[in-house]
Amino acid sequence: MKRIYSFKIIILCLCIMIICLLTALHFFINYNTNGFMIFIAYFFLAFAISMLLKIFGLPDYIELTKDKIKVFNNPLFATNKFYDKKANLILWNNEINLKEVEKIELVKLTKKEKKKYIGFNHLFSRYIRIYIKNSNPNKHIYISIYTKKQIMNLLKFLNKQCN
């Protein structure tokens, strides 16, 4: 079993965490008598802790095994009144049996396609489309949050296992 962690998300969360910690430290040192500024400092401190929880508690990664791929994306903002439909789409795209894969391609999805196949909009639109044998809807893996090297390793693994 091999895991590919989203390096871009980890770096982004670390940068946000450092900025929040420095801002909180600035407010604690310079405005320690002002109650409102101390409240804002605690807010930044709590936000920095939430970034740590995102990195270590809810990481985005792809788990590769010999016959299966599991995608662990945490769509925190994918909730609204149509969540049941979205939850089904998320679960449909999260697990891929490699014995059923027919063909793989890199694609950029439009907003309509994201709504139809993914269920919610990601910030970027680069995906791997996986054609499944004897199945009409294709599966999609969101790969914009991974580096080019990680994407190439994933594609190499998929091509090796499927052929």
Question: What ranges do the domains of the chain cover?
Answer: 2-56, 67-162
Instruction: Tell me the pLDDT tens digit for each residue of 27-51.
Output: 999 888 888 889 999 999 999 999 9
Q: What is the pLDDT of residue 125?
A: 79
Instruction: Tell me the pLDDT tens digit for each residue of 3-30.
Output: 888 888 899 899 999 999 999 999 999 8
Residue with the bigger pLDDT between 115 and 59: it is: 59
Rounded distance between C-alpha atoms, residue 66 and residue 85, angstroms: 30
3-state secondary structure of 104: strand
Which segments within the chain are labelled E, that is strand?
2-5, 61-64, 68-72, 95-97, 101-108, 126-132, 139-142
Q: What percent of the chain has pLDDT over 90?
A: 17
Q: Residue 115: CB partners within 8 Å, gap ≥ 6? A: 121
pLDDT at 85 over 60: no
Q: What are phi and psi of 20, to 5 degrees?
A: -65, -40
Q: What is the pLDDT of residue 129?
A: 87
pLDDT at 80 over 70: no
Q: What is the pLDDT of residue 75?
A: 59
pLDDT at 78 over 60: no
